[in-house]
Structure 1
């Protein structure tokens, strides 16, 4: 693994089925493009199928004929009903998934709730992906070749704290505190999932995590737009232009975690530059709180209760 690692070093993905949430924009768009360029079948899980179809057309027009298939499907991670409908359709039409990329997310938005009453950042970034992964687990385990589950976190997890007494931040809400909590939850989930796979003697399915550093995407704009702050929106655009690396560069840790041959279960990848904000993918350590097994087990239990999703690690 070196700072010069690029998509050109990705293994051939022909005959691989990849599912990416948030596939129509930003990091998800770039990851979808990279997988398709390497011949994969990509299930593009998008909140808006219209935007998903436009993205798929753009990707097809920009890559050579690799035999890739892009399948756009509607999935709103802020709705357990939508997740259930989406996973039911995927299970009907596919007999396996090789790579699941839990990528979609929202960042630093005014307090909102999902359709099911969850604080939206926790609901979309963590609980939605928890339910999605649990419902698709059989397709990852029922596989003749190794499979991976990659969960996208953020350096912002370091400021996160799981408030089990006010998980949905009903008593006290700060948009960045809630975002940090959701990104810490991503890591607690990814690591706990790997531990549970190992406890069930599942060796061919790995759970790993990553973060993009500072990648300039539309994710940074949603909070100011929803708050109606033109000043903050302009400031964020300026910061993105000066500090951020491209979405294509930001997607490299995700792509490395999903495909590189030296990846191990429980690994965490991010950019190797100053402050881990830019650069090529490397293995890193996350915060001390992210390795708290007691907190991870408690969050897992709460996530099962809230989503009604249980994970079955042993197949019939």
Structure 2
């Protein structure tokens, strides 16, 4: 199994639990030294490999180095509410890192994947809007949380279209999505002012305060026999009971999903599943 962003937070917990359950887990991380420290604390079979989703050359290098079969790919890595910036390839940071990187990685690894692709979205996808005419936020006022929400909505549209293509090809591989709810991880480090204060105060009441709880929907999506395009989220105060989420209309827009796929394939130069 491959878990991206496994050097901290939800990714580290996901990698740990999968390895301790008997899986061989590759921690795909930007900071290899940090990933090695996490792997050293995991009981089970692990390997650490370099992967920077904000750099398509790194994505290609990771995929090119892969040999053999891959049961599960967990697209966990992501950034949230960062100041305006661009990836190594010139894309808006959220769109490039949270969507285009996983899109390219999944397509490049797809010939090796035997079971499923699980992509971690967010409940904040509900505030996102995918505008195909302004994916890099060049025509709108840049709003970090809105950009994050748009990238997480893109994750859901990607899962929708990937599953459609897999089914059309007669593949048994499944595409699923999960979201952790509000989990107290370092992902919120770029929040500032009132939004930061409100978010961190809310951890006391509504959050899956520990990453262990936040990772449960992802683990459920990895382990359970679920139909393709399932979307798993937390239930209960602690989020300890993952369950299937009902997709919103915006998450289920098949036309937009197809268009986003085509644009993403053009921007990344990657489209293995046609």
By the TM > 0.5 criterion, same fold?
yes
Matched, 1:193 2:166: no
Taking the aligned partners of 2:82 and 2:204, their CA distance within structure 1 comes to 21
1:233 Cα deviation after fit: 5.4
1:236 Cα deviation after fit: 4.6
1:24 Cα deviation after fit: 1.1
The unaligned stretches of length 5 or more in structure 2 are: none
1:232 Cα deviation after fit: 6.2
Per-residue deviation, residues 178-197 of structure 1 (Å, max 9, x unmatched): 11110000000001100000
Other-structure match for 1:211:
179
Tell me which stretches of 4 or more aligned residues in structure 1 moved more than 6 Å.
Answer: none
Q: Kindly name which structure, 1 or 2, has the bigger radius of gyration based on alpha carbons.
A: 1
Q: Is the 8 A contact 1:27 1:248 kept in 2?
A: yes
**What is the root-mean-square deviation in Å for CA atoms of aligned residues?**
1.7
1:83 Cα deviation after fit: 0.6
Per-residue deviation, residues 7-50 of structure 1 (Å, max 9, x unmatched): xxxxxxxxxxx100001111111111110111111010000001
The unaligned stretches of length 5 or more in structure 1 are: 1-17, 61-67
2:3 pairs, out of 7, 10, 20, with: 20
**Which aligned pairs between 1:252-267 and structure 2 lie closer than 5 A?**
252-261=216-225, 263-267=226-230
Per-residue deviation, residues 146-168 of structure 1 (Å, max 9, x unmatched): x0100111111111111111110
Q: Is the 8 A contact 2:165 2:273 kept in 1?
A: no
SS of match in other structure, 1:98: strand
Per-residue deviation, residues 251-280 of structure 1 (Å, max 9, x unmatched): 11101111112x111111101236xx8341
Taking the aligned partners of 1:50 and 1:107, their CA distance within structure 2 comes to 22
**Which aligned pairs between 1:278-289 and structure 2 lie closer than 5 A?**
278-289=239-250
Other-structure match for 2:145:
176
Normalising by structure 1, we get a TM-score of 0.82
Other-structure match for 2:104:
131
Taking the aligned partners of 1:301 and 1:231, their CA distance within structure 2 comes to 38
Taking the aligned partners of 2:234 and 2:199, their CA distance within structure 1 comes to 21
Taking the aligned partners of 1:254 and 1:231, their CA distance within structure 2 comes to 29
Other-structure match for 2:29:
46
2:65 pairs, out of 86, 89, 96, with: 89
Other-structure match for 2:258:
297
Taking the aligned partners of 2:266 and 2:260, their CA distance within structure 1 comes to 10
**Which aligned pairs between 1:218-297 and structure 2 lie closer than 5 A?**
218-221=186-189, 223-224=190-191, 229=192, 236-245=199-208, 246-261=210-225, 263-273=226-236, 278-297=239-258
